[in-house]
Structure 1
Amino acid sequence: MRLVVTTPTALVEEVAGVRHIRAEDETGAFGILPGHADFVTVLPVSVVTWRGEDGGEGFVLVRGGVLTVRGGDLVEIAARGAYRADDLADLGDDALAALERLDVSEDEARTSETRLHLATMRQIERVLQSGRQGKSAPPSLDQRRADGSAANG
Protein backbone atom coordinates (compact mmCIF):
# COMPACT_ATOMS: atom_id res chain seq x y z
CA MET A 1 0.00 0.00 0.00
CA ARG A 2 1.16 3.56 -0.64
CA LEU A 3 0.58 6.60 1.61
CA VAL A 4 0.75 10.19 0.31
CA VAL A 5 0.34 13.18 2.65
CA THR A 6 0.15 16.65 1.14
CA THR A 7 -0.62 20.22 2.17
CA PRO A 8 -1.54 23.05 -0.20
CA THR A 9 2.14 23.95 -0.47
CA ALA A 10 4.13 20.75 0.08
CA LEU A 11 4.40 17.01 -0.29
CA VAL A 12 4.90 16.05 3.36
CA GLU A 13 5.26 12.29 3.00
CA GLU A 14 5.15 9.62 0.32
CA VAL A 15 5.72 6.06 1.52
CA ALA A 16 5.44 2.80 -0.39
CA GLY A 17 5.23 -0.61 1.23
CA VAL A 18 2.87 0.37 4.04
CA ARG A 19 1.27 -2.54 5.90
CA HIS A 20 -1.05 -0.65 8.21
CA ILE A 21 -2.31 2.91 8.70
CA ARG A 22 -4.07 4.23 11.77
CA ALA A 23 -6.02 7.48 11.63
CA GLU A 24 -8.87 9.18 13.44
CA ASP A 25 -12.05 10.93 12.34
CA GLU A 26 -15.00 12.29 14.31
CA THR A 27 -16.27 8.76 14.98
CA GLY A 28 -12.97 7.61 16.49
CA ALA A 29 -9.80 5.77 15.53
CA PHE A 30 -9.72 3.33 12.62
CA GLY A 31 -7.22 1.20 10.75
CA ILE A 32 -6.55 0.71 7.07
CA LEU A 33 -5.00 -2.46 5.66
CA PRO A 34 -4.12 -3.31 2.04
CA GLY A 35 -7.28 -4.12 0.10
CA HIS A 36 -9.44 -1.69 2.09
CA ALA A 37 -12.65 -0.58 0.36
CA ASP A 38 -12.69 2.85 -1.26
CA PHE A 39 -13.31 5.35 1.49
CA VAL A 40 -13.35 9.10 2.21
CA THR A 41 -13.42 10.78 5.62
CA VAL A 42 -12.64 14.13 7.20
CA LEU A 43 -9.76 14.20 9.67
CA PRO A 44 -9.61 16.56 12.64
CA VAL A 45 -6.30 17.70 14.10
CA SER A 46 -4.82 14.28 14.85
CA VAL A 47 -1.85 11.98 14.49
CA VAL A 48 -1.75 9.50 11.61
CA THR A 49 0.58 6.55 12.12
CA TRP A 50 1.74 3.79 9.81
CA ARG A 51 3.86 0.69 9.85
CA GLY A 52 5.90 -0.33 6.85
CA GLU A 53 6.66 -3.79 5.53
CA ASP A 54 10.11 -3.46 7.11
CA GLY A 55 8.50 -2.94 10.56
CA GLY A 56 9.43 0.74 10.74
CA GLU A 57 6.89 3.27 11.90
CA GLY A 58 6.09 6.78 10.76
CA PHE A 59 4.04 9.58 12.23
CA VAL A 60 2.47 12.73 10.88
CA LEU A 61 0.43 15.30 12.75
CA VAL A 62 -2.29 16.62 10.44
CA ARG A 63 -4.05 19.90 11.01
CA GLY A 64 -7.36 18.67 9.69
CA GLY A 65 -7.90 17.35 6.21
CA VAL A 66 -9.42 14.66 4.04
CA LEU A 67 -8.30 11.03 3.89
CA THR A 68 -9.11 9.02 0.77
CA VAL A 69 -8.56 5.31 0.11
CA ARG A 70 -8.53 4.31 -3.58
CA GLY A 71 -8.30 0.87 -5.08
CA GLY A 72 -7.32 -0.66 -1.77
CA ASP A 73 -3.66 0.29 -2.24
CA LEU A 74 -3.49 4.10 -2.25
CA VAL A 75 -4.18 6.25 0.80
CA GLU A 76 -4.05 10.00 0.25
CA ILE A 77 -4.32 12.67 2.90
CA ALA A 78 -4.85 16.28 1.88
CA ALA A 79 -4.27 18.34 5.02
CA ARG A 80 -4.39 22.04 5.86
CA GLY A 81 -1.02 21.59 7.53
CA ALA A 82 1.12 18.65 8.54
CA TYR A 83 4.28 17.87 10.47
CA ARG A 84 6.26 14.63 9.92
CA ALA A 85 8.42 12.80 12.46
CA ASP A 86 10.12 9.41 12.74
CA ASP A 87 9.42 9.20 16.46
CA LEU A 88 6.11 9.90 18.15
CA ALA A 89 7.84 11.83 20.94
CA ASP A 90 9.33 14.20 18.33
CA LEU A 91 5.85 15.28 17.29
CA GLY A 92 5.26 16.93 20.66
CA ASP A 93 6.85 20.33 21.13
CA ASP A 94 8.29 20.78 17.62
CA ALA A 95 5.00 20.01 15.88
CA LEU A 96 2.93 22.17 18.19
CA ALA A 97 5.31 25.09 17.71
CA ALA A 98 5.19 24.67 13.92
CA LEU A 99 1.40 24.47 13.88
CA GLU A 100 1.11 27.50 16.17
CA ARG A 101 3.30 29.48 13.74
CA LEU A 102 0.99 28.43 10.90
CA ASP A 103 -2.08 29.49 12.88
CA VAL A 104 -0.57 32.90 13.62
CA SER A 105 0.39 33.50 9.99
CA GLU A 106 -3.09 32.44 8.80
CA ASP A 107 -4.71 34.75 11.35
CA GLU A 108 -2.54 37.64 10.17
CA ALA A 109 -3.40 36.93 6.53
CA ARG A 110 -7.11 36.70 7.34
CA THR A 111 -6.98 40.01 9.24
CA SER A 112 -5.16 41.73 6.36
CA GLU A 113 -7.67 40.35 3.87
CA THR A 114 -10.60 41.59 5.99
CA ARG A 115 -9.06 45.06 6.31
CA LEU A 116 -8.51 45.24 2.56
CA HIS A 117 -12.09 44.13 1.91
CA LEU A 118 -13.47 46.78 4.31
CA ALA A 119 -11.31 49.52 2.79
CA THR A 120 -12.53 48.56 -0.70
CA MET A 121 -16.17 48.63 0.42
CA ARG A 122 -15.67 52.06 2.02
CA GLN A 123 -14.12 53.39 -1.17
CA ILE A 124 -16.99 52.05 -3.28
CA GLU A 125 -19.45 53.68 -0.88
CA ARG A 126 -17.64 57.04 -1.20
CA VAL A 127 -17.71 56.86 -4.99
CA LEU A 128 -21.41 56.00 -5.02
CA GLN A 129 -22.25 58.81 -2.57
CA SER A 130 -20.28 61.41 -4.54
CA GLY A 131 -22.13 60.34 -7.68
CA ARG A 132 -25.48 60.79 -5.96
CA GLN A 133 -24.58 64.24 -4.60
CA GLY A 134 -23.56 65.51 -8.02
CA LYS A 135 -26.88 64.61 -9.67
CA SER A 136 -30.29 65.97 -8.88
CA ALA A 137 -32.86 63.47 -7.74
CA PRO A 138 -35.16 62.15 -10.47
CA PRO A 139 -38.60 63.74 -10.51
CA SER A 140 -41.21 62.03 -8.42
CA LEU A 141 -44.27 60.46 -10.00
CA ASP A 142 -46.40 63.39 -8.75
CA GLN A 143 -44.05 65.91 -10.38
CA ARG A 144 -44.15 64.04 -13.68
CA ARG A 145 -47.96 63.92 -13.61
CA ALA A 146 -48.12 67.62 -12.92
CA ASP A 147 -45.81 68.30 -15.89
CA GLY A 148 -47.81 65.96 -18.08
CA SER A 149 -44.69 63.86 -18.66
CA ALA A 150 -46.27 60.78 -17.06
CA ALA A 151 -48.72 60.54 -19.95
CA ASN A 152 -45.87 60.61 -22.45
CA GLY A 153 -43.77 57.93 -21.07
Structure 2
Amino acid sequence: MSGTPLTLTLATPSQVWFDAVEIVSLRAEDESGSFGIRTGHADFVTLLTPSVVRWTCADGSIHYCAVDGGVLLVSHGTEVSIACREAVPGDSLEGLETGVRGRHASEADAARRARVDQLQLHARAVRQMLRYLRPRAGSDGTAADSVGGMLP
Protein backbone atom coordinates (compact mmCIF):
# COMPACT_ATOMS: atom_id res chain seq x y z
CA MET A 1 0.00 0.00 0.00
CA SER A 2 2.89 2.40 0.44
CA GLY A 3 3.09 2.96 -3.35
CA THR A 4 -0.62 3.87 -3.57
CA PRO A 5 -1.26 7.59 -3.06
CA LEU A 6 -3.73 8.86 -0.51
CA THR A 7 -6.67 10.76 -2.07
CA LEU A 8 -8.92 13.39 -0.54
CA THR A 9 -12.51 14.19 -1.48
CA LEU A 10 -14.25 17.00 0.39
CA ALA A 11 -17.85 17.94 -0.35
CA THR A 12 -20.72 20.03 0.94
CA PRO A 13 -24.35 19.67 -0.18
CA SER A 14 -23.84 22.44 -2.73
CA GLN A 15 -20.32 21.77 -4.02
CA VAL A 16 -17.52 19.24 -4.32
CA TRP A 17 -14.52 21.29 -3.19
CA PHE A 18 -11.84 18.64 -3.77
CA ASP A 19 -12.34 15.46 -5.79
CA ALA A 20 -9.76 12.66 -5.36
CA VAL A 21 -6.86 15.08 -4.84
CA GLU A 22 -3.61 13.18 -4.25
CA ILE A 23 -2.15 13.95 -0.82
CA VAL A 24 0.63 12.64 1.41
CA SER A 25 -1.01 13.24 4.79
CA LEU A 26 -4.01 14.88 6.44
CA ARG A 27 -4.67 16.32 9.92
CA ALA A 28 -8.19 16.74 11.28
CA GLU A 29 -9.95 17.03 14.62
CA ASP A 30 -12.78 15.15 16.28
CA GLU A 31 -14.10 15.08 19.87
CA SER A 32 -11.04 13.11 21.03
CA GLY A 33 -8.61 15.68 19.61
CA SER A 34 -6.34 16.11 16.61
CA PHE A 35 -5.31 13.09 14.54
CA GLY A 36 -3.34 12.32 11.38
CA ILE A 37 -3.98 10.14 8.35
CA ARG A 38 -1.35 8.64 6.04
CA THR A 39 -1.50 5.93 3.38
CA GLY A 40 -2.32 2.58 4.96
CA HIS A 41 -4.40 4.05 7.80
CA ALA A 42 -7.05 1.71 9.19
CA ASP A 43 -10.55 2.18 7.84
CA PHE A 44 -12.75 4.23 10.13
CA VAL A 45 -15.46 6.87 10.40
CA THR A 46 -15.47 9.84 12.78
CA LEU A 47 -17.47 13.00 13.38
CA LEU A 48 -15.35 16.09 12.91
CA THR A 49 -15.68 19.09 15.19
CA PRO A 50 -15.82 22.60 13.71
CA SER A 51 -12.13 23.02 12.94
CA VAL A 52 -9.47 23.39 10.28
CA VAL A 53 -8.49 20.35 8.21
CA ARG A 54 -4.91 20.49 6.88
CA TRP A 55 -3.28 18.31 4.24
CA THR A 56 0.09 18.10 2.53
CA CYS A 57 0.43 17.37 -1.18
CA ALA A 58 3.28 15.41 -2.82
CA ASP A 59 5.01 18.68 -3.81
CA GLY A 60 5.15 19.69 -0.13
CA SER A 61 2.45 22.37 -0.39
CA ILE A 62 0.08 22.62 2.55
CA HIS A 63 -3.61 23.38 2.11
CA TYR A 64 -6.34 24.18 4.62
CA CYS A 65 -10.10 24.02 4.81
CA ALA A 66 -12.30 25.24 7.65
CA VAL A 67 -15.22 22.87 8.20
CA ASP A 68 -18.24 23.30 10.44
CA GLY A 69 -18.02 19.70 11.58
CA GLY A 70 -18.92 16.80 9.36
CA VAL A 71 -18.08 13.16 8.75
CA LEU A 72 -14.62 11.87 7.84
CA LEU A 73 -14.32 8.40 6.31
CA VAL A 74 -11.11 6.50 5.60
CA SER A 75 -11.56 3.65 3.09
CA HIS A 76 -9.07 1.01 1.93
CA GLY A 77 -6.25 2.93 3.63
CA THR A 78 -6.01 5.20 0.59
CA GLU A 79 -9.22 7.24 0.36
CA VAL A 80 -10.20 10.05 2.71
CA SER A 81 -13.69 11.49 2.24
CA ILE A 82 -15.12 14.41 4.18
CA ALA A 83 -18.77 15.46 4.01
CA CYS A 84 -19.79 18.65 5.81
CA ARG A 85 -22.44 21.37 5.61
CA GLU A 86 -20.05 24.29 5.09
CA ALA A 87 -16.42 24.49 3.97
CA VAL A 88 -14.06 27.41 3.44
CA PRO A 89 -10.83 26.37 1.66
CA GLY A 90 -7.58 28.31 1.79
CA ASP A 91 -3.90 28.04 0.91
CA SER A 92 -2.75 29.85 4.08
CA LEU A 93 -4.08 30.21 7.60
CA GLU A 94 -4.24 33.99 7.17
CA GLY A 95 -6.25 33.68 3.97
CA LEU A 96 -8.48 31.10 5.61
CA GLU A 97 -9.15 33.40 8.56
CA THR A 98 -10.12 36.20 6.17
CA GLY A 99 -12.41 33.83 4.25
CA VAL A 100 -14.11 32.56 7.39
CA ARG A 101 -14.61 36.09 8.74
CA GLY A 102 -16.06 37.15 5.38
CA ARG A 103 -18.42 34.18 5.32
CA HIS A 104 -19.62 34.92 8.87
CA ALA A 105 -20.14 38.60 8.02
CA SER A 106 -22.16 37.79 4.89
CA GLU A 107 -24.27 35.23 6.81
CA ALA A 108 -24.95 37.78 9.58
CA ASP A 109 -25.90 40.39 6.95
CA ALA A 110 -28.25 37.92 5.24
CA ALA A 111 -29.87 37.10 8.60
CA ARG A 112 -30.37 40.83 9.31
CA ARG A 113 -31.95 41.35 5.88
CA ALA A 114 -34.24 38.37 6.46
CA ARG A 115 -35.36 39.80 9.83
CA VAL A 116 -36.10 43.20 8.22
CA ASP A 117 -38.06 41.52 5.42
CA GLN A 118 -40.00 39.48 7.97
CA LEU A 119 -40.84 42.59 10.03
CA GLN A 120 -41.97 44.47 6.91
CA LEU A 121 -44.19 41.56 5.86
CA HIS A 122 -45.67 41.38 9.38
CA ALA A 123 -46.37 45.14 9.37
CA ARG A 124 -48.11 44.91 5.97
CA ALA A 125 -50.26 42.03 7.23
CA VAL A 126 -51.27 43.99 10.34
CA ARG A 127 -52.16 47.05 8.20
CA GLN A 128 -54.29 44.86 5.91
CA MET A 129 -56.09 43.34 8.89
CA LEU A 130 -56.73 46.80 10.37
CA ARG A 131 -58.16 48.02 7.03
CA TYR A 132 -60.43 44.99 6.90
CA LEU A 133 -61.58 45.34 10.51
CA ARG A 134 -62.05 49.15 10.44
CA PRO A 135 -65.77 50.04 10.36
CA ARG A 136 -66.94 51.37 6.99
CA ALA A 137 -69.65 53.98 6.58
CA GLY A 138 -72.92 52.82 5.00
CA SER A 139 -74.82 54.84 2.36
CA ASP A 140 -77.14 56.33 5.03
CA GLY A 141 -74.22 57.51 7.20
CA THR A 142 -74.38 54.66 9.74
CA ALA A 143 -71.31 52.51 10.36
CA ALA A 144 -71.16 49.14 8.63
CA ASP A 145 -69.52 46.18 10.31
CA SER A 146 -66.55 44.49 8.67
CA VAL A 147 -68.68 41.86 6.95
CA GLY A 148 -71.02 44.35 5.32
CA GLY A 149 -73.90 44.40 7.86
CA MET A 150 -75.18 47.62 9.41
CA LEU A 151 -74.34 48.44 12.99
CA PRO A 152 -77.11 49.83 15.22
**Bin for the TM-score computed over the shorter chain:** 0.5 to 0.7
2:72 aligned with 1:82, yes or no?
Answer: no
Q: Which amino acid aligns with 2:17?
A: V
How far residue 62 of structure 1 moved from its aligned partner, in angstroms, is: 0.3
Specify the alignment match of 2:54 in structure 1: 49
Segments of 5+ residues of structure 2 without an aligned counterpart are 1-5, 119-152
- Look up the match of 1:40: 45
Larger relative helix fraction: 1
Matched, 1:18 2:28: no
2:37 is equivalent to residue 68 of structure 1: no
* CA shift for structure 1 position 25: 0.4
In structure 2, the partner of 1:58 is 63
> What is the count of residue pairs matched by the alignment?
110
Where does structure 1 lack aligned partners over 5 or more consecutive residues?
A: 113-153
- Report the CA distance between 1:105 and its aligned residue: 5.4
Q: Deviations over 1:54-81 (max 9, x none)?
A: 1111100001100000111110000110
Q: Alpha carbon RMSD of aligned pairs, Å?
A: 2.2
The 8 Å contact of residues 50 and 57 in structure 1, kept in 2 or not, is answered as yes
1:103/1:27 CA distance change after superposition, 3 Å? farther
The one-letter code sitting in structure 2 at the alignment partner of 1:19 is V
Contact map agreement 1:12 1:83 (CA 8 A) in 2: no
Q: 2: CA distance between counterparts of 1:103 and 1:67?
A: 28
| Identity within the alignment, % | 38
Between Structure 1 and Structure 2, which shows a larger proportion of strand residues?
Answer: 2
> TM-score scaled by structure 1?
0.64
TM-fit CA distance, 1:101: 3.5
How much does 1:100 deviate?
A: 4.9
Give the SS at the match of 2:24: strand
Shift of 1:92: 0.7
CA contact (8 A) 1:24 1:46 kept: yes
Q: Within 1, Cα distance between the matches of 2:108 and 2:71?
A: 19
Q: Partners in 2 of 1:24 and 1:52 — Cα distance? A: 19
Q: Which residue is equivalent to 1:91?
A: 96
